[in-house]
Amino acid sequence: MNKVLAALDNSAAARPVLVSAAALARLLGAEVEAVHIREDGHQTAEAAARAAGLPLRLTAGPVVQTLQAAGQNPDVIALALGVRALSAGRRPAGHVALQLAVTLPKPLLVVPPQATPTTTLKRVLVPLDAEPATAAALAETLELAGRHQLEVVVLHVHNHASIPPFTEQPQHELAAWGEEFLRRHCPNPDLVRLEVRVGIPGQHVLGVAEEMRADMIALGWAQELDEGHAAVIREALEHSSIPLLLIPVPR
């Protein structure tokens, strides 16, 4: 059976990671497997797994490599882990999360420690640029719309470099444009809702997620965190208080 692998560290993030992983697994029709790599104790992780009614697989080894290897298992369809140990941390994410994010060829659910995830995902925000590859990577997520009463909201942000040449009668043109945008980029356009904004995408992603009280943000990305890349991902990793599902876009 497909699994969402929940990687628990021995921190406050362990519980939110488990809850988020379980919510995602339920949506995907998968089961959750909790895993902990021994470093400096395992009581917090163990307690979190016990509270969730899941056995905890304890293993040893270099954390990143061990999780990468576990993630390669064909049964594993996503890996969940805490984004950083403390909410006050200055870096956008811990080194484990960052290294896995740029290397793991599977969806990575990163859960901020301050998250209060729900056991059932009700609203997911899916930001889409107009790139077909992004849309293709997010297609499976978009197809979840309607399942288990999940509401999927697609967000497109016109930034200053992509201001469209034409906007006509506002009472009509957005409907026409929006319908076609969804037809182009969503496998189930009738089941999702579109929000459009103008400005800096990273800021709007978090703003709209808050407005709609999203339980999760699904983001497609090319797994490049170098300067000049992934501004939205960086912004979200740094400031999001809800889980992020990072889905690799094939390069």
Q: Is 74 in the site for other proteins (CB under 8 A)?
A: no
Minimum separation from the CB atom of position 177 to other proteins (A)? 5
Positions in 180-219 near other proteins (CB under 8 A): 180-181, 183-184, 195-199, 208
Number of residues that bind other proteins (CB under 8 A): 29
Minimum separation from the CB atom of position 180 to other proteins (A)? 4
What is the rounded distance in angstroms from the CA atom of residue 189 to the CA atom of residue 58? 43
Kindly tell me which of 95 and 184 has the beta carbon lying closer to other proteins.
184
What is the rounded distance in angstroms from the CA atom of residue 6 to the CA atom of residue 134? 25
What are the counts of helices (DSSP H) followed by strands (DSSP E) for the chain? 9, 10
The DSSP secondary structure of 61-130, one letter per residue, reads S-HHHHHHHHHHSTTEEEEEEES-S-TT-SSSS-HHHHHHHHH-SS-EEEE-TT----SS--EEEEE--S
What is the rounded distance in angstroms from the CA atom of residue 96 to the CA atom of residue 64? 6
Stretch that binds other proteins, among 10-18, 59-67, 140-148, 166-174 (CB under 8 A): 166-174
Q: Is 171 in the site for other proteins (CB under 8 A)?
A: yes
- Contact with other proteins (CB under 8 A): which of 53, 165, 228, 250? 165
Binding positions for other proteins, rule: CB under 8 A:
132, 158, 160, 163-177, 179-181, 183-184, 195-199, 208
